[in-house]
Homo-oligomer: A and B are copies of this chain.
Amino acid sequence: MSTSNVERVANATPVLVRNQELAAANYLAFEADRVLAVNLMSAPGAGKTSVLEATLRALGGKRRAGVIEGDLETTRDADRILALGIPAHQINTGTVCHLDARMVSRALEQFPVGGFDVLFIENVGNLVCPAEFDLGERLRVMVFSVTEGADKPKKYPLMFHRSHAVLLNKIDLLPYCGVSLEELTRNVREVNPDAAIFPVSCRTGEGIAEWVSWLDAQIPGE
């Protein structure tokens, strides 16, 4: 670790410690409400909102779901979720490249989540910083587009390493983008041997049932 990096970590620590305290409070609130909070992360355009739409459709009337959307600007993603008849709340971060526990804590004041079985928190599209800021979630789920290349788990290891499930999305594009699913899966395994890995396509629906079945099993019983 270089000197500048040591300096940076030292400077950043109070911010991260304070975030952990707020995240712990959110976590306890979610547990008290018996709602499964899922922090959904990815690089921009990997398909988080499309995965969410497919997941909400597949959960159907079986589970009560709510969504908190994080974006720098616009309410497009919340609008897409509301169009499905699912309650959604938009956080606009302005220039901040990730959600943090305080933003979620403030959102919860306006958006009560006690009636949900599962709360999806869609993070800002960014493959780096969201992985450093816990929100109080019980599950971290990452969407990775296979078109981004098989080498990315090694180049951006933290999010892969910290995710409970990794969805390898856009597999319908595999024949056209020259990426090996085997190599990509091997690279994910290398930085995270424990993650559940689901190759999926939101366009064809392939793999969505397997992912949703895994997710459903994580939701606390009555």
A178 touches B149 (CB 8 A): no
Q: In the assembly, how many copies of this chain are there? A: 2
The answer to whether the Cβ of A18 comes within 8 Å of any Cβ in the partner chain is: no
Q: How large is the interface on A (under 10, 10 to 19, 20 to 34, 35 or more residues)?
A: 35 or more
Give residues of chain A (54-92) contacting chain B, Cβ–Cβ below 8 Å. Answer: 71-74, 76, 92
Residues of A within 8 A of B (CB): 1-2, 4-5, 8-9, 43-46, 71-74, 76, 92-97, 102-103, 106, 124-129, 132, 145, 147-149, 151-152, 154-158, 170, 172-173, 176-178, 203
List 21 A–B pairs whose Cβ atoms lie within 8 Å, in order of A's numbering.
A4-B102, A4-B103, A5-B95, A5-B96, A8-B94, A8-B95, A9-B95, A43-B43, A45-B152, A46-B148, A71-B155, A73-B155, A74-B155, A76-B155, A95-B128, A126-B127, A145-B148, A147-B170, A147-B177, A172-B176, A178-B203
